[in-house]
Amino acid sequence: MISGLVRRAGLVDVLGAVGQTNVQGEEQQKLDVIADEAMKGAFARTGRICVMGSEEDEDPIPVDEAYGYGKYTLLFDPLDGSSNIDVNVSIGTIFSIHRRKTSDGAGTLSDLLQPGRDQVAAGYVVYGSSTVLVYTAGFGVHVFTLDPTIGEYRLCHHDIKTPEVGKYYSVNESYYSRWSNGYREVVRAFKGDGTKDHRKNARYIGSLVADFHRNLLSGGVFMYPADSRSPQGKLRLLYEAAPLAFVAQQAGGAASDGRTPILEIEPAGLHQRTPLLIGSKDDVAFVEETVARVDGAPT
């Protein structure tokens, strides 16, 4: 459903650009709001979910009680990177599933505020040259490609493992002046300054799911550090960092906030941000060691 919307968005955008409304005279909604409605509509009446949380909604989202309250919770970013849609850069949907903690009835915020280590399933859909679903339920990472001729996802990679050392490093280097000295030293090493031991190619397209997916398959490390303007980083813990950290871990990779494993962070808020360092195991360890050495161990 969202793939169909994304594939059509360029057309709607052109129509929307003519006036401020589309040809039906409707106020054109932002695509990520439309995707959010698609997700809520798809999961509110499954009887599997007791409460949802979305990047697009300030508060927990109730499910339709007529269909029963299920034993799981669902957190999602319906369309991460949607600002890239106008220039046809790949974007994605990220999801995270937990067992409810409360016993019965409608789920609550406390059911959503669980650490990533307790996820029962997580993954993403990347809307790129093809539409690819990547998920784990704790038994490896599996990759499916949507076959639009039959409207079904078909398995293309079973139990993938990410290389221990990657080809790429992904970070927005325009923030260099705002980073700690530790992250500045890391990026200098990735550029091959001084020694070629850690040199990597730079790849950063400003779309988390696309950057993560490339690095998962080819090996690499994605960094969105805390900086002087964003002391908690930009990315969200519950429906961006934690689900991707579960996938990375299951594929033999790693993820932390630079010091603490993402999966061990106890969330305090639905939209809590976290610095993110994620990807190939040895690359993540190199960044953590360099930052600890240069910036000092955590206080």
- Closest approach, Cβ 206 to ligand P6P, in A, equals 4
Cα R_g (the chain), whole angstroms:
20
| Tokens describing residue 289 | 């060691």
Which C-beta is closer to ligand P6P: that of 73 or that of 207?
207
Footprint on this chain of ligand P6P (rule: CB under 6 A): 80-81, 83, 172, 206-208, 234
- Closest approach, Cβ 97 to ligand P6P, in A, equals 21
Which C-beta is closer to ligand P6P: that of 51 or that of 278?
278
Check if the beta carbon of residue 211 is closer than 8 Å to that of residue 124: no
Which C-beta is closer to ligand P6P: that of 142 or that of 234?
234
- Closest approach, Cβ 172 to ligand P6P, in A, equals 3
In this structure, which amino acid lies at residue 101? K
Which C-beta is closer to ligand P6P: that of 163 or that of 225?
225
- Closest approach, Cβ 273 to ligand P6P, in A, equals 11
Neighbouring CB atoms inside 10 A of 178's CB total: 13
Sign of CA dihedral 88, 215, 136, 259: negative
Which C-beta is closer to ligand P6P: that of 21 or that of 172?
172
- Closest approach, Cβ 42 to ligand P6P, in A, equals 22
Longest pairwise C-alpha distance within the chain: 64
E-strand spans in 103-188?
119-127, 131-136, 141-147, 152-157, 168-170
